[in-house]
Amino acid sequence: MQAIIGGTGLYHLTGLVMTRRQAVRTPYGEPSGALTYGRIGDGPEIVFLARHGYGHTLAPHRINYRANLWALHEVGVRRIVSVATVGGITPTLSAGTIVVPDQIIDYTTDRPRTFFEGGDQPVAHVDMTQPYGAAMRQDLLASAQACNVAVVDGGVYGCTQGPRLETAAEIRRMGRDGCDMVGMTGMPEASLARELELDYAALCLVTNDAAGKGASVDEISMEGMRAVVDNSMKDVHRILGELVSGRCSSDAA
């Protein structure tokens, strides 16, 4: 089964006809919300979960990533697309660009980040050389091509703690580290998915130039970010519609 984790701006999936909802309890507490099952067209049943809660009440550092991933795995999900909004650090990643990243750098702190916590469990070291699933990434790229939606193949996602945005100096440091974009929810989501052996990939919408870059030299416009989400999220919906049902939604909004 396939799941979509929706981030900022993706609280529902266009065209998804809900079949049921399920509350799942986990050893790690409550997930961000009930799991929503549904279908797009005559496609297979999928699961949708709003990462920040269905009222967007959970800040990035307060999300129970372990409960989210465990709940999805528990109900039989084996493939996950993580949708997120990011700021562009590399000049070519301007607002409105959609990216399928292939690498990640973790700058977060104090987030529970593993299912392996000792006790009776043996020590486990998961390989994160390639942090995203190759098959899931290729399916996203193929879906975008089928919908004639331009996406950038590859890029380094720098994950910060949040919920505040970064300073210009922090973004300069991240650029020197090799980051192409900055977000707040990519980790430990990706590493937890790897621990559960899930085929996990990210689909990122650039909503703004990162702090100190381009149009954000002096400040980041929250109004501008919302406008980009309103204007560009329809292409994300189209890609996801093609991915889960083989149909590009022409009226996604």
CA distance 35 to 33: 6
Q: Counting Cβ atoms within 10 Å, is residue 70 exposed (0-12), middle (13-18) or buried (19+)?
A: buried
The domain segmentation of the chain, as residue ranges, is: 2-245
CA angle 138, 140, 141 (to 5 degrees): 65
pLDDT of residue 218: 95
- Pairing status of strand 16-22 against strand 2-6: unpaired
CA 9 to chain centre: 11
Name the pTM for this structure.
Answer: 0.92
Dist CA 22 CA 229 (whole Å):
28
What are the pLDDT tens digits along the chain (253 aa)? Answer: 999 998 776 766 777 888 899 999 999 999 999 999 998 888 889 999 999 887 778 999 999 999 999 999 999 999 999 999 999 999 999 999 999 999 999 999 999 999 987 667 777 789 999 999 999 999 999 999 999 999 999 999 999 999 999 999 999 999 999 999 999 999 999 999 999 999 999 999 999 999 999 999 999 999 999 999 999 989 999 999 999 887 676 444 3
For domain 2-245, is the CATH number 3.40.50.1580? yes
Residue 215 is predicted with a pLDDT of: 94
Amino acid type, 247: R
Task: Sort 30 into a burial class: Cβ within 10 Å, 0-12 / 13-18 / 19+.
Answer: middle
